[in-house]
Structure 1
Amino acid sequence: MKISSNDLINLPVFTQSGQNLGRVYSFDLDIDNNAVVSYYVRTGLIKGLWHQQLIISPRQVISISKEKMVVEDSAAKEPKASLGKVELVGSGAD
């Protein structure tokens, strides 16, 4: 089965025990081997405010469908790559 990059981006990611980790927002390809080397998953409860980034190895992926990606439970315990916050500027109440 093939999946397009359009289907992969924003794909929900869950652990095998059902924990929602977030959504795929990017991935890296090894052009020499024609293979994905990393999936980047953005976590967070409030979209656009606080998020963390998980880097998922293809070895941690159990399955991928057009509905979701399922990864090993250990992927949720990996160190986060970054922490970010979007600042709202110019609220209009000057």
Structure 2
Amino acid sequence: MAILTDEEDLAVQAKLNFSLGARIYDTYLQGFRCTELSGGVVIAYARSEYMAGVISAEYSTQIASAVASVVGQPATMVLVLSCGKSRR
């Protein structure tokens, strides 16, 4: 299990902002955080349950790719939870 550092999380956010564009990033991923990568599964948190569902349905592929490139380990699945369960 790899717990992402704050710097790695910021790098993932920067990659997503660049690849998706500022408008989409600001609309859907504001407050989004990636916290860990375990067995190819990225654990991430969104600002609400609704946003977690939207992010999971629409942007899982881009998130997995960004996390894999930052951490250097394969990411095959993304689990997005609401921020009520966030460690931050």
TM-score bracket for this pair, using the shorter chain length: 0.3 to 0.5
**Structure with higher RCO (Cα < 8 A, 6+ apart):** 2
With the length of structure 2 as denominator, give the TM-score of the two structures. Answer: 0.35
Structure (1/2) with the larger helix percentage:
2
- After TM superposition, the score normalised by the length of structure 1 is 0.33
